[in-house]
Amino acid sequence: MEILKRPLITEKMSLANEEGIYGFIVNKGANKLQIKEAVEELYNVQVKDVRTMIYQGKKKSRYTKTGMVTGRKASFKKAIVQLEEGEFIDFYGDL
């Protein structure tokens, strides 16, 4: 089971990165301990705290030639990971 799907790279999260806080989209079945172990193993850092939340998919509708089509986007689980003091993750490499 793949625990970490992708990192959250948004303007709000990039401001939090300076404080050692990073966001990830994770597997819905993953618990906090699995997320902590996956981040520590993948990025070679020490994790202090993990917070998780599950988002319901938003309702979407659009007009087509055959009429209005409605549906939902997929739901997802987000994890906010706080690292120990002095630790950081470099998502961009050497730019």
Which strands, in side-by-side order, build the sheet including 4-7? 4-7, 21-26, 76-83, 47-55
- The residue extents of the domains of the chain are 4-83
Contacts of 8 (CB under 8 A, 6+ apart): 22, 23, 24, 25, 78
Q: Superfamily assignment of 4-83 in CATH?
A: RRM (RNA recognition motif) domain (3.30.70.330)
> Which amino acid, 43?
Y
Size of the chain in residues: 95
Contacts of 28 (CB under 8 A, 6+ apart): 54, 75, 76, 77
Sign of CA dihedral 5, 55, 48, 30: negative
pLDDT of residue 8: 94
Given a cut of 80, whether residue 95 has pLDDT beyond it is: no
pLDDT, tens digit (0-9, with 9 covering 90-100), for 36-92: 999 999 999 999 999 999 999 999 999 999 999 999 999 999 999 999 999 989 887
